Structure 1
Amino acid sequence: MINPVWLKTFCTLADLGHFTKTAEALFMTQSGVSQQIKKLEEQLATALLIREGKSFTLTDAGMRLHADGLKLLQAAVLLEQNVKQDEPFVGQVRVATPGSVGLTVYPFLLDIQAQHPALHISHAFSPNKSIERDIELRLFDLGVMTQPSTSADVITEAIAQEALVLVTSNETETLTWQTLQRLGYIGHPDGHQHCQALLQANFSQFEHPSQFQEKGFSNQISLILEPVSRGFGFSVLPLYAARAFHAQERIRIHSLTAPVNETLYLCRHTHVVQSKRARFIAQQIKLLLKDKQQIKPDV
């Protein structure tokens, strides 16, 4: 491998065309410049200069080395700049969130990118276990989870509460146990967990989601409330998902006597020093979710 110090000396000499000027530019002695050029020629086993007294011309090999060497030196400078670059509004930040939170977080992050075009946001909707695994593998810089991590490689920080809400079509004004049984249940991947948490706290008759006839199921967070809005049944899901439904006039988000919340956790890799841009995005997510948790579920 060509010694980069000798290569820089050679390219500077070729550019300036004079040993004295090269020595001054590189804060070296003339003999030091000559020694490095000689060592480079010995390493390559070829003459790079044709010396004519105090002047010189480049050999064919010297001309090729000068042209390619400049590209190599410029690439090395650019590489060093990229490695050292740590600006809050430049570069990529990779974020993963559960579906409900992502419906709120991702558009917010795109607004930030619109303000800072050199900041590139990559976002994925993922379940908790996938987020934890991908943070461990350093595939994402940040994640939001609805449970703390059990991995020693993932730091989780509780940052907000997200309310669980019961949603029906807008035609249902008052909720009773009999109303829920008549409506039936619209399921989703986290539905049983959410249903168990919210209904157990609010209805003494509740034992298990199987007490309701399942009238439908969707694994697409943005579509869970589509059958609900048409009166096919009720569902229980996080408030962010309910607020993100495109036809708010067709649904009713009910306020129950005993509120139930899920804790939201911001997570990152334990042993990775965060970039300024990742810290900036993490802070913005915290502020967003802390602000959003103040929204009451009443319609």
Structure 2
Amino acid sequence: MLNPAWLRSFASLIESGGFTRAAEQLGLTQAAVSQHIRHLEDELGPLLIRRPRKIELTPAGTALLDYCKETEEAACRLRLRLTDARTDHGDIGFITPGSVGLALYPLLLSLQQSHPGLVIRHRFAPDAEILQAVLEKRYELGLVTRQPDDPRLLATPFAEETLELVAPAGTRVECWQDLESLGFIDHPDGQAMATRLLARRFPGNPGVRTLACHGFSNQIALILEPVARGLGFTVIPRHARQAYARAERLQVVECGVPIVDTLWMIHRSEWPLSARASHVIQQLRQMPPFSSNSTTAAATR
């Protein structure tokens, strides 16, 4: 391996065009720079053609200069990657379900405002896509609704997500017939969520599939819009309802003992989180609505 000090002297010599200027740039004596070049030529052969007031590179010298540039570029890339040790700089990739994502994204933006060196990448996705994205290292952090059993993933409880029956404000919801009159606003997880919650609120009900469907949206931020307009009811995670701007147009129907799912923070288990990712998780845990959530509650399924 070539001595890095010799390489610095060689690169500085070519950049400055002379031994004296190179020595001044490096804080060395001219003799030291000359000695470094001599060591390189002993190993690699002639590198320079020395002419009055001009230095010309031999083919070997050109190859060595290219090597110096490649080495410096590699060092720069390494330094960028080593910014993982900093909590206030670098890229953070976070992939989550849409419901909790509505609550998380404004908090992530606030953290980015506080730390302009951070770059936040946030994506909404279902559990299967989240698992795959973290396994493939496309995102460092993920949130999933079920604890994974893949040994390549480390999962820790992060927050709780409560299912809610949400109806237009002022409407009566006391019996199954009231739901039949309202109609159901569906979404990709709507029937599964409604089946779980309505079985608790209306035991023995004929099932959500017997209700008239009055609308469907796969955009988490838009699911409550038809409900707010009086077009039907839905069952949705609390974080999505809390993120809806026109809360006065909605009512949450009491369903007895709540159904609460645990959200699991996941990342690759083979290596530690970057310092910035650990810092972001710590900050999020201190922010409402996540600061008051128990991180040890078991999911009720």
TM category (shorter chain) comes to 0.7 to 0.9
Q: C-alpha distance in 2, partners of 1:273/1:151? A: 17
Q: Render the CA deviation track for 1:177-221: whole Å, top value 9, x for unaligned.
A: 221122121111011121122111221232532132222111111
Written as runs of structure 1 = structure 2, the 5 A alignment for 1:134-283 is: 134-283=133-282
**Partner residue of 1:59 out of 36, 44, 55:** 55
- Where 1:112 maps in the other structure, the secondary structure is helix
How far 1:161 sits from its partner (Å)? 1.2
- Aligned partner of 1:78 in structure 2 is 76
State the 1:31 CA deviation: 8.6
Query: Gaps spanning 5+ residues in structure 2: where?
Result: 295-301
Q: How many percent of aligned residue pairs carry the same amino acid? A: 30
Conserved? CA contact 1:9–1:36, under 8 Å:
no
Going from structure 1 to structure 2, the CA distance change for 1:181 and 1:268 (only over 3 Å counts) comes to: same
**Residue deviations 1:89-140 (CA, integer Å, cap 9, x gap):** 0011000110100000011100110111111101001001000000000000
Query: Is 1:49 aligned to residue 50 of structure 2?
Result: yes
Name the structure 2 match of 1:297.
Answer: none
Indicate if the aligned counterparts of 1:186 and 1:224 stay in contact, CA closer than 8 A: yes
Counterparts of 1:39 and 1:95, CA distance in 2:
52
Q: Deviations over 1:147-192 (max 9, x none)?
A: 1113222221112211100001012144322211221211110111
Residues 233 and 34 of structure 1: CA distance in aligned 2, closer, same or farther (over 3 Å) = closer
Structure 2 residue identity aligned to 1:36 = H
Q: Aligned partners of 2:37 and 2:95: how far apart in 1?
A: 56
Q: Is the 8 A contact 1:89 1:277 kept in 2?
A: yes
1:105 maps to 2:104: yes
Q: Secondary structure at the match of 1:33?
A: helix
Q: In structure 1, how many angstroms separate the alpha carbons of the residues matched to 2:47 and 2:66?
A: 16
Partner residue of 2:41 out of 38, 43, 54: 38
Decide whether the 8 Å contact of 1:7 with 1:69 is kept in 2: no
Given that residues 94 and 142 in structure 2 are in contact (C-alpha distance below 8 angstroms), is that contact kept between their aligned partners in structure 1? yes
Q: Which structure 1 segments of 5+ residues have no match?
A: 51-55, 295-299
How far is the alpha carbon of 1:74 from its aligned partner?
5.1
C-alpha separation in 2, matches of 1:3 and 1:207: 79
CA 122–171 in structure 1, closer or farther in 2 if over 3 Å, else same: same
Query: Is this contact kept in 2: 1:100–1:221, CA < 8 A?
Result: yes
CA contact (8 A) 2:163 2:238 kept: yes
Moved more, 192-201 or 133-142: 192-201
Specify whether residues 70 and 46 from structure 1 end up closer, same or farther in structure 2 by C-alpha distance, changes over 3 A only.
Answer: closer
Which residue, 14, 17, 20 being the options, matches 2:19?
A: 17
**Offset of 1:292 from its aligned partner?**
5.8
**Cα distance in structure 1, aligned partners of 2:41 and 2:107:** 60
**Following TM superposition, where does structure 1 have runs of at least 4 consecutive aligned residues deviating by more than 6 angstroms?**
21-24, 28-31, 66-70
How far did residue 233 of structure 1 move? 1.4
Deviation of 1:224 (Å): 0.9
Q: Is the 8 A contact 1:41 1:47 kept in 2?
A: no
The answer to whether the Cα contact below 8 Å between 2:151 and 2:269 also exists between their aligned partners in 1 is: yes
Secondary structure of residue in 1 paired with 2:267: strand
**Partner SS, residue 258 of structure 1:** coil
Deviates more, 1:72-81 or 1:122-131: 72-81
Contact 2:97/2:143 (<8 A) preserved: yes
Q: How far apart are 1:61 and its partner, in Å?
A: 1.9
Please give the per-residue CA displacement for 1:267-286, whole angstroms capped at 9, x wherever unaligned: 11111321110111122233
> What is the letter of the counterpart of residue 178 of structure 2?
T
Q: Residues 37 and 189 (structure 1 numbering): CA distance in 2 closer, same or farther, change over 3 Å? A: same
What is the root-mean-square deviation in Å for CA atoms of aligned residues? Answer: 3.3
